[in-house]
Amino acid sequence: MKRILGALAACGLTCLAAGTASALELTFLNSYGFENPHGLEFDPTDNSLWVSTNIADTSGNVFNVDPATGVVNSSFAAPQPIPSDPFTAGIGFRGANLLLTDDESNFLEVSKAGAQIGAFFSGPDDVEGLAPDSRTGGLILANSGLETISFTDLDLNVSSMFNTELLDPAFTDPRGVTYDPLTRNVLVVDDNNRLYEVSRNGVLLMQLPFASILTGVLGIAEGVTLDPVSSILYVAFDGTGTDGGLSQIVRFNYAGTLIPEPGTLAVMVAGLAGLALLRRRRRP
């Protein structure tokens, strides 16, 4: 019995130590210049990076690039609902295809080759960023006008959301968004050039100013995406309209806030306690 109780105490200490949450951490890797980058989406099928740019260029404004160097693999010009306006504020996967938005209320699905799939369709206004939600198979939208992060299905029907102005501390104008399947948290960038880590139910866990890591004049943080396998985070900064801010894509080594599942320790301790009681009852 004493040995069982000793094992119970030892397991409790070990599990408590193992259950300590890790905190958000970024380490600069490298950066490269890119003209007016806006949306970012990592492509795990070939380890490439999709970049949507906020420019109306008939030769190409959506690019597939080498994520480490920015060397362009391919590009296409996104169809425009209004010929003079760029239609590439946000980009993310919708199944195997790409979904584009213009930060108004227009959305369009295209193939990786740029072929239009179906007609333009309407969705929430002021969506600057979008990302696939690997937990549900739907999408996550960053709405800079309503100051919300929304969880939707593939047809943009909202199942839940939280308002960034109601977080503690609050922040406004969310631009880019991505999802970390390991921590199950949402990562958001805003025009104050900060990275925010928020739980799915709207609890702000951590925030980190990019100025604490990067030097020089930064453009506005517009897009963010994560390669969860290599734990590399990509952030797009657009220098348009800023006082000397750089238009660039920056790579970081990333570690998110990992909070152990509640109840794991309790289950293990209860199991050992039950085993101890059972053995005690079997003693002659």
Q: Which two tokens stand for residue 86?
A: 């760029």
CA distance 282 to 212: 62
Host H or E run for residue 90 = strand 90-94
Instruction: Please give the pLDDT value at position 111.
Output: 96
Q: Please, which residues bridge with residue 48 across strands?
A: 43
Question: Coil, strand or helix: which one is 63?
Answer: strand
- Is residue 266 classed exposed, middle or buried when 0-12, 13-18 and 19+ CB atoms within 10 A define those classes? exposed
Query: Residue 179: what residue type?
Result: Y
Q: What share of the chain is helix, strand, coil (3-state, %, to 5)?
A: 15, 45, 40
Q: Tens digit of pLDDT for each residue in 100-147?
A: 988 777 899 999 999 999 988 888 878 999 999 999 999 999 999 899
The pLDDT score that the predictor gives to residue 6 is 43
Write down the pLDDT at residue 80: 75
Query: ω before 169 within 30° of 0 (cis)?
Result: yes
The distance from CA 81 to its chain's CA centroid, rounded to whole angstroms, is: 27
- Structural contact between residues 252 and 263, judged by C-beta atoms closer than 8 angstroms: no
Provide the whole-model pTM: 0.84
Residue stretches of the chain with pLDDT short of 50: 1-19, 264-265, 267-269, 272, 275, 279
**Contact at 8 Å (CB) between 230 and 243?**
no
State residue 55's pLDDT score.
75
* Residues 6 or more apart whose Cβ sits within 8 Å of residue 91: 38, 39, 40, 41, 50, 51, 52, 62, 98, 99, 100, 101, 130, 223
Residue 17 confidence (pLDDT): 39
List Cα–Cα distances, 274 to 11, 221, 265, in angstroms: 14, 53, 14
Give the C-alpha separation, 105 to 139, whole Å: 16
User: Which residues make Cβ contacts (< 8 Å) with residue 46, sequence separation at least 6?
Assistant: none
DSSP structure class, residue 22: B
